């Protein structure tokens, strides 16, 4: 029972301080679940990120559900998922209530949060890049194949944008990376 409360409160804290969606919270989940609680190891965090991103639904909810299920089965998944969703739900209700009365103040708060959000997303990008290129599992060493896939996807995205003047579909990038992963690994 203790683990259920711990999952709920840990993910509620993550959900409370995550603005900007799932990518912004990856570093928070890593900090809490890998660093502080040591519920999972760094390689598992990378796998969870990939699985949560590839499956339907918000990455934040998928990650919480996966970690909760890993630690305590169905009830752990329910506790972690409820914890991560509840703060956002309450915050949105409060914003809607305030938005109707004090529109300018809500906009000021949201504008103040944007720079923090960008910093969190950039930090998450560096975390994921570092995990790909320099896996924390010492036995793995430098992963040049993952770097090749990353560079090819960046090149494909740039060329596509130059020709079509719009971003390539993330679905196509996921499919392309899966094909390249099968070919290289």
Q: pLDDT digits over 52-96, tens only?
A: 887 777 888 889 999 999 999 999 999 999 999 998 888 878 877
> Nearest CA to 128 among 159, 112, 102, 149?
149
Convert the pLDDT of each residue in 5-20 to its tens digit.
Answer: 999 999 999 888 776 6
Residue 122's pLDDT band (boundaries 50, 70, 90)? Answer: confident
**pLDDT score for 136:** 63
- Which tens digit of pLDDT belongs to each residue from 32-51? 998 899 999 888 888 888 88
């Amino acid at each position: 029972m203790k683990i259920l409360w711990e999952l709920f409160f840990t993910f509620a804290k993550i959900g409370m301080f995550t603005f900007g969606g799932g990518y912004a919270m990856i570093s928070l989940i890593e900090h809490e679940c890998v660093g502080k609680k040591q519920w999972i190891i760094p390689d598992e965090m990378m796998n969870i990120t990939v699985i949560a991103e590839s499956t339907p639904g918000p990455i934040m909810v998928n990650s919480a559900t996966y970690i909760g299920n890993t630690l305590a089965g169905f009830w752990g998944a329910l506790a972690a998922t409820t914890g991560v969703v509840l703060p956002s739900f309450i915050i949105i209700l409060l914003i809607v209530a305030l938005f109707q009365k004090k529109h300018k103040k809500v906009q000021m708060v949201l504008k103040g949060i944007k720079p923090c959000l960008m910093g969190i997303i950039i930090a998450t990008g560096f975390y994921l890049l570092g995990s790909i290129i320099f896996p924390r599992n010492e036995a793995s060493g430098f992963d040049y194949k993952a770097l090749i896939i990353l560079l090819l996807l960046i090149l494909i995205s740039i060329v596509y944008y130059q020709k079509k003047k719009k971003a390539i579909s993330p679905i196509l990038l996921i499919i392309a990376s899966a094909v390249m992963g099968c070919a290289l690994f």
